[in-house]
Protein backbone atom coordinates (compact mmCIF):
# COMPACT_ATOMS: atom_id res chain seq x y z
CA UNK A 1 0.00 0.00 0.00
CA UNK A 2 1.43 3.38 -1.01
CA UNK A 3 1.89 6.08 1.62
CA UNK A 4 0.23 9.46 1.03
CA UNK A 5 2.60 11.19 3.43
CA UNK A 6 4.73 13.98 2.01
CA UNK A 7 8.43 13.15 2.52
CA UNK A 8 10.12 15.28 5.15
CA UNK A 9 12.53 17.94 4.02
CA UNK A 10 16.14 17.04 4.78
CA UNK A 11 18.48 18.99 7.07
CA UNK A 12 22.25 18.54 7.29
CA UNK A 13 24.60 20.07 9.81
CA UNK A 14 28.02 19.32 11.28
CA UNK A 15 30.19 20.42 14.17
CA UNK A 16 33.94 20.23 14.63
CA UNK A 17 35.48 18.21 17.48
CA UNK A 18 37.92 21.00 18.27
CA UNK A 19 37.77 20.84 22.05
CA UNK A 20 34.98 20.95 24.60
CA UNK A 21 31.64 22.21 23.28
CA UNK A 22 30.30 25.37 24.87
CA UNK A 23 27.00 26.88 25.91
CA UNK A 24 27.30 28.90 22.71
CA UNK A 25 27.41 25.69 20.66
CA UNK A 26 24.41 24.35 22.58
CA UNK A 27 22.16 27.41 22.26
CA UNK A 28 23.45 28.47 18.85
CA UNK A 29 23.22 25.08 17.18
CA UNK A 30 22.66 21.87 19.15
CA UNK A 31 19.42 22.83 20.90
CA UNK A 32 18.05 23.74 17.50
CA UNK A 33 19.28 20.40 16.06
CA UNK A 34 17.26 18.56 18.69
CA UNK A 35 14.10 20.45 17.75
CA UNK A 36 14.63 19.97 14.02
CA UNK A 37 14.76 16.17 14.26
CA UNK A 38 11.06 16.17 15.14
CA UNK A 39 10.01 17.83 11.89
CA UNK A 40 12.77 17.07 9.39
CA UNK A 41 14.82 14.19 8.08
CA UNK A 42 18.04 15.16 9.87
CA UNK A 43 21.64 14.12 9.25
CA UNK A 44 24.27 15.32 11.73
CA UNK A 45 28.03 14.86 11.61
CA UNK A 46 31.15 15.27 13.75
CA UNK A 47 33.38 17.04 11.22
CA UNK A 48 36.78 15.58 12.10
CA UNK A 49 38.23 16.05 8.59
CA UNK A 50 37.70 19.79 8.95
CA UNK A 51 39.58 19.79 12.24
CA UNK A 52 42.90 18.75 10.71
CA UNK A 53 43.42 22.02 8.82
CA UNK A 54 45.09 22.93 12.13
CA UNK A 55 47.72 20.62 13.61
CA UNK A 56 46.19 18.06 15.96
CA UNK A 57 47.64 15.69 18.55
CA UNK A 58 46.33 12.29 17.31
CA UNK A 59 45.29 10.78 20.65
CA UNK A 60 43.61 14.02 21.73
CA UNK A 61 41.75 14.32 18.43
CA UNK A 62 40.41 10.77 18.75
CA UNK A 63 39.26 11.57 22.30
CA UNK A 64 37.58 14.79 21.19
CA UNK A 65 35.78 13.04 18.33
CA UNK A 66 34.39 10.42 20.72
CA UNK A 67 33.37 13.01 23.31
CA UNK A 68 31.73 15.26 20.72
CA UNK A 69 29.76 12.32 19.32
CA UNK A 70 28.64 11.40 22.85
CA UNK A 71 27.66 15.01 23.58
CA UNK A 72 25.46 15.14 20.48
CA UNK A 73 23.52 12.20 21.87
CA UNK A 74 23.58 13.61 25.41
CA UNK A 75 21.95 16.90 24.40
CA UNK A 76 19.02 14.94 22.96
CA UNK A 77 19.80 13.94 19.39
CA UNK A 78 18.15 10.55 18.91
CA UNK A 79 19.88 8.08 16.53
CA UNK A 80 16.46 6.57 15.83
CA UNK A 81 15.23 9.92 14.50
CA UNK A 82 18.41 11.36 12.95
CA UNK A 83 21.51 9.88 11.35
CA UNK A 84 24.51 10.82 13.53
CA UNK A 85 28.00 9.91 12.34
CA UNK A 86 31.68 10.83 12.21
CA UNK A 87 32.62 12.51 8.93
CA UNK A 88 35.81 10.52 8.23
CA UNK A 89 33.85 7.26 8.63
CA UNK A 90 32.09 8.04 5.32
CA UNK A 91 34.84 8.25 2.63
CA UNK A 92 32.45 9.84 0.12
CA UNK A 93 33.00 13.22 1.82
CA UNK A 94 36.66 13.35 0.81
CA UNK A 95 35.90 11.91 -2.64
CA UNK A 96 33.20 14.45 -3.50
CA UNK A 97 35.32 17.29 -2.08
CA UNK A 98 37.92 16.61 -4.78
CA UNK A 99 35.29 16.64 -7.52
CA UNK A 100 33.82 19.90 -6.23
CA UNK A 101 37.25 21.51 -6.00
CA UNK A 102 37.44 21.08 -9.77
CA UNK A 103 34.27 23.16 -10.12
CA UNK A 104 35.29 25.89 -7.66
CA UNK A 105 37.22 28.96 -8.75
CA UNK A 106 40.45 29.99 -7.05
CA UNK A 107 39.10 33.50 -6.57
CA UNK A 108 35.98 32.23 -4.82
CA UNK A 109 38.05 30.41 -2.23
CA UNK A 110 40.38 33.38 -1.80
CA UNK A 111 37.44 35.61 -0.85
CA UNK A 112 36.36 33.43 2.06
CA UNK A 113 36.67 35.54 5.23
CA UNK A 114 37.29 32.47 7.40
CA UNK A 115 40.36 31.59 5.30
CA UNK A 116 41.66 35.13 5.73
CA UNK A 117 41.03 35.07 9.49
CA UNK A 118 42.60 31.65 10.04
CA UNK A 119 45.58 32.55 7.87
CA UNK A 120 46.31 35.37 10.26
CA UNK A 121 45.84 33.20 13.37
CA UNK A 122 47.84 30.27 11.92
CA UNK A 123 50.43 32.13 9.83
CA UNK A 124 52.89 29.25 10.22
CA UNK A 125 50.46 26.72 8.69
CA UNK A 126 48.54 28.22 5.77
CA UNK A 127 47.93 24.89 4.06
CA UNK A 128 45.95 23.92 0.95
CA UNK A 129 43.32 22.21 3.10
CA UNK A 130 42.60 25.48 4.89
CA UNK A 131 42.17 27.15 1.50
CA UNK A 132 39.93 24.45 0.00
CA UNK A 133 37.98 23.88 3.24
CA UNK A 134 34.74 25.24 1.65
CA UNK A 135 34.84 22.49 -1.00
CA UNK A 136 34.72 19.85 1.73
CA UNK A 137 31.95 21.77 3.47
CA UNK A 138 30.01 21.84 0.20
CA UNK A 139 30.55 18.10 -0.19
CA UNK A 140 29.22 17.52 3.34
CA UNK A 141 25.98 19.27 2.45
CA UNK A 142 25.49 18.20 -1.17
CA UNK A 143 26.18 14.51 -0.53
CA UNK A 144 22.88 14.26 1.33
CA UNK A 145 20.71 16.35 -1.02
CA UNK A 146 20.00 18.59 1.98
CA UNK A 147 17.12 21.02 1.58
CA UNK A 148 18.21 23.11 4.56
CA UNK A 149 21.37 23.82 6.53
CA UNK A 150 21.12 25.45 9.99
CA UNK A 151 23.80 28.14 10.02
CA UNK A 152 24.82 31.17 12.01
CA UNK A 153 25.57 34.40 10.24
CA UNK A 154 29.30 33.58 10.33
CA UNK A 155 28.69 30.52 8.13
CA UNK A 156 26.41 32.15 5.56
CA UNK A 157 29.32 32.81 3.19
CA UNK A 158 30.27 29.12 3.07
CA UNK A 159 26.68 28.08 2.45
CA UNK A 160 26.37 30.62 -0.35
CA UNK A 161 29.46 29.14 -1.99
CA UNK A 162 27.98 25.64 -1.62
CA UNK A 163 24.85 26.88 -3.38
CA UNK A 164 26.93 28.48 -6.14
CA UNK A 165 28.86 25.24 -6.70
CA UNK A 166 25.64 23.20 -6.79
CA UNK A 167 24.05 25.58 -9.33
CA UNK A 168 27.22 25.52 -11.47
CA UNK A 169 27.40 21.71 -11.57
CA UNK A 170 23.64 21.42 -12.15
CA UNK A 171 23.95 23.81 -15.08
CA UNK A 172 26.54 21.55 -16.67
CA UNK A 173 25.15 18.13 -15.74
CA UNK A 174 21.44 18.66 -14.96
CA UNK A 175 20.11 17.97 -11.48
CA UNK A 176 23.23 16.56 -9.90
CA UNK A 177 22.52 18.28 -6.59
CA UNK A 178 19.78 19.78 -4.47
CA UNK A 179 20.50 23.49 -3.89
CA UNK A 180 20.24 24.02 -0.11
CA UNK A 181 18.70 26.94 1.76
CA UNK A 182 19.74 28.36 5.15
CA UNK A 183 17.86 27.88 8.40
CA UNK A 184 18.80 30.59 10.89
CA UNK A 185 17.38 30.23 14.44
CA UNK A 186 15.79 33.39 15.85
CA UNK A 187 16.66 32.85 19.53
CA UNK A 188 20.03 32.07 21.03
CA UNK A 189 21.67 32.08 17.62
CA UNK A 190 24.68 34.05 18.78
CA UNK A 191 25.87 33.68 22.38
CA UNK A 192 28.51 36.21 23.32
CA UNK A 193 31.51 36.09 25.65
CA UNK A 194 30.70 36.57 29.34
CA UNK A 195 33.73 38.83 29.72
CA UNK A 196 33.66 40.71 26.41
CA UNK A 197 30.06 40.64 25.14
CA UNK A 198 31.03 42.21 21.83
CA UNK A 199 32.82 38.96 20.91
CA UNK A 200 31.22 35.59 20.24
CA UNK A 201 31.60 32.99 23.01
CA UNK A 202 34.53 30.76 22.03
CA UNK A 203 36.44 27.97 23.72
CA UNK A 204 39.61 29.40 22.17
CA UNK A 205 39.28 32.47 24.41
CA UNK A 206 42.26 32.42 26.82
CA UNK A 207 40.01 33.77 29.59
CA UNK A 208 38.23 30.65 30.88
CA UNK A 209 35.65 32.86 32.58
CA UNK A 210 34.44 34.08 29.19
CA UNK A 211 32.88 30.79 28.14
CA UNK A 212 30.93 27.91 29.66
CA UNK A 213 31.70 24.33 28.65
CA UNK A 214 28.82 21.86 28.53
CA UNK A 215 30.66 19.71 31.07
CA UNK A 216 31.61 22.53 33.46
CA UNK A 217 30.80 21.79 37.10
CA UNK A 218 27.68 23.55 38.47
CA UNK A 219 29.64 25.74 40.89
CA UNK A 220 31.98 26.83 38.10
CA UNK A 221 28.99 27.76 35.94
CA UNK A 222 27.42 29.79 38.75
CA UNK A 223 30.70 31.61 39.40
CA UNK A 224 31.19 32.48 35.72
CA UNK A 225 27.74 34.05 35.56
CA UNK A 226 28.18 35.93 38.84
CA UNK A 227 31.30 37.50 37.30
CA UNK A 228 29.75 38.12 33.88
CA UNK A 229 30.29 41.62 32.52
CA UNK A 230 27.19 43.83 32.45
CA UNK A 231 27.33 47.65 32.60
CA UNK A 232 27.12 50.49 35.10
CA UNK A 233 23.32 50.42 35.33
CA UNK A 234 21.08 48.04 37.22
CA UNK A 235 17.90 47.60 35.17
CA UNK A 236 17.33 44.29 33.42
CA UNK A 237 16.05 45.29 30.01
CA UNK A 238 17.20 45.11 26.39
CA UNK A 239 18.75 48.36 25.20
CA UNK A 240 21.31 49.72 22.78
CA UNK A 241 24.79 49.62 24.30
CA UNK A 242 23.88 47.12 27.03
CA UNK A 243 25.68 44.23 25.32
CA UNK A 244 26.36 42.25 28.51
CA UNK A 245 22.78 42.38 29.79
CA UNK A 246 21.38 41.78 26.30
CA UNK A 247 23.53 38.64 26.04
CA UNK A 248 22.35 37.32 29.42
CA UNK A 249 18.72 38.02 28.53
CA UNK A 250 19.18 36.09 25.27
CA UNK A 251 20.66 33.12 27.14
CA UNK A 252 17.88 33.15 29.74
CA UNK A 253 15.18 33.43 27.08
CA UNK A 254 16.64 30.54 25.06
CA UNK A 255 16.80 28.27 28.12
CA UNK A 256 13.46 29.14 29.75
CA UNK A 257 11.32 29.87 26.71
CA UNK A 258 10.27 33.19 28.26
CA UNK A 259 9.88 36.28 26.11
CA UNK A 260 12.00 39.40 26.63
CA UNK A 261 9.05 41.38 28.11
CA UNK A 262 8.35 38.52 30.55
CA UNK A 263 11.99 38.52 31.65
CA UNK A 264 12.02 42.28 32.07
CA UNK A 265 8.89 42.11 34.26
CA UNK A 266 10.29 39.19 36.28
CA UNK A 267 13.42 41.14 37.24
CA UNK A 268 11.91 44.61 37.46
CA UNK A 269 13.62 46.37 40.38
CA UNK A 270 15.72 43.34 41.36
CA UNK A 271 19.07 44.35 39.90
CA UNK A 272 21.88 42.56 38.10
CA UNK A 273 22.96 40.35 41.00
CA UNK A 274 19.65 38.49 41.17
CA UNK A 275 19.46 38.28 37.40
CA UNK A 276 22.95 36.87 36.90
CA UNK A 277 22.32 34.28 39.63
CA UNK A 278 19.07 33.25 37.94
CA UNK A 279 20.74 32.89 34.55
CA UNK A 280 23.49 30.75 36.13
CA UNK A 281 20.89 28.50 37.76
CA UNK A 282 18.98 28.17 34.48
CA UNK A 283 22.19 27.04 32.77
CA UNK A 284 22.99 24.54 35.55
CA UNK A 285 19.44 23.17 35.37
CA UNK A 286 19.66 22.75 31.59
CA UNK A 287 23.13 21.15 31.56
CA UNK A 288 22.80 18.76 34.52
CA UNK A 289 20.77 16.13 32.59
CA UNK A 290 23.12 16.57 29.61
CA UNK A 291 26.11 15.85 31.84
CA UNK A 292 24.42 12.83 33.40
CA UNK A 293 23.59 11.32 30.00
CA UNK A 294 27.11 12.06 28.76
CA UNK A 295 28.64 10.23 31.73
CA UNK A 296 26.56 7.12 30.95
CA UNK A 297 27.37 7.22 27.24
CA UNK A 298 31.11 7.77 27.57
CA UNK A 299 31.37 4.92 30.07
CA UNK A 300 29.99 2.47 27.48
CA UNK A 301 32.75 2.48 24.85
CA UNK A 302 31.39 -0.54 22.96
CA UNK A 303 27.94 1.01 22.81
CA UNK A 304 29.31 4.28 21.48
CA UNK A 305 31.35 2.50 18.81
CA UNK A 306 28.26 0.56 17.75
CA UNK A 307 26.25 3.78 17.42
CA UNK A 308 29.08 5.38 15.41
CA UNK A 309 29.15 2.41 13.05
CA UNK A 310 25.37 2.40 12.63
CA UNK A 311 25.35 6.15 11.94
CA UNK A 312 28.14 5.85 9.38
CA UNK A 313 26.34 3.00 7.65
CA UNK A 314 23.08 4.96 7.41
CA UNK A 315 24.82 8.11 6.15
CA UNK A 316 27.08 6.12 3.84
CA UNK A 317 24.15 4.57 1.99
CA UNK A 318 22.77 8.00 1.09
CA UNK A 319 26.18 9.50 0.34
CA UNK A 320 27.23 6.53 -1.80
CA UNK A 321 24.20 6.84 -4.04
CA UNK A 322 24.72 10.56 -4.58
CA UNK A 323 28.45 10.16 -5.23
CA UNK A 324 27.80 7.38 -7.77
CA UNK A 325 25.26 9.58 -9.55
CA UNK A 326 27.73 12.48 -9.70
CA UNK A 327 30.50 10.22 -10.99
CA UNK A 328 28.24 8.97 -13.80
CA UNK A 329 27.18 12.48 -14.76
CA UNK A 330 30.71 13.85 -15.03
CA UNK A 331 31.98 10.81 -16.96
CA UNK A 332 33.68 8.65 -14.31
CA UNK A 333 33.04 4.92 -14.21
* Distance in angstroms (rounded) separating the CA atoms of residues 25 and 212: 10
* Catalytic-labelled residue, pool 31, 63, 199, 203: 203
Whether 317 is catalytic is no
* Catalytic-labelled residue, pool 31, 200, 224, 242: 200
CA 66 to chain centroid = 16
Q: Order the strands of the 41-46 sheet from edge to edge.
A: 82-86, 41-46, 10-15, 148-150, 181-183
The full DSSP string for 56-122 is --HHHHHHHHHHHHHHHHHTT--TTTEEEEEGGGSTHHHHHHHHHHTTS-HHHHHT-HHHHHHHHHT
Nearest to 50 by CA among 36, 70, 64: 64
Please write down the long-range contacts of 194-198, taking CB distance under 8 Å and 24 or more positions apart: 194/224, 194/225, 194/227, 194/228, 194/229, 194/247, 195/227, 195/228, 195/229, 196/229, 197/229, 197/243, 197/244, 197/246, 197/247, 198/243
**Angle at alpha carbon of residue 13, lines to 291 and 3, rounded to 5°:** 105
Whether 116 is catalytic is no
Whether the Cβ atoms of residue 136 and residue 94 lie closer than 8 Å to each other: yes
How many residues are present in the chain?
A: 333
Interhelix angle for 92-101 vs 301-330, to 10°? 30
The full DSSP string for 215-249 is T--HHHHHHHHHT----S----S--TT-HHHHHHH
* Catalytic-labelled residue, pool 118, 224, 242, 276: 118
Whether the Cβ atoms of residue 60 and residue 66 lie closer than 8 Å to each other: no
Strand-strand pairing, 41-46 and 82-86: parallel
Whether 200 is catalytic is yes
Active site residue ranges: 118, 200, 203
Amino acid sequence: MESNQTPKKRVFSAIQPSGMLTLGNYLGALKNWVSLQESYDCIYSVADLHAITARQEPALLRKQVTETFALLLAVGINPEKAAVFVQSHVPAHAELAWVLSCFTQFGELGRMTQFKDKSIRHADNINAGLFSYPCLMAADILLYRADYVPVGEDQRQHLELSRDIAVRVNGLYNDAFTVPDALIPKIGARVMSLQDPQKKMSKSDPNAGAWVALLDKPDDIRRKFRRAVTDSGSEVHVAQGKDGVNNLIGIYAALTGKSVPEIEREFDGRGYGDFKAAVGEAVVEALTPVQERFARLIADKAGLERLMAEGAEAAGKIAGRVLAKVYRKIGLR
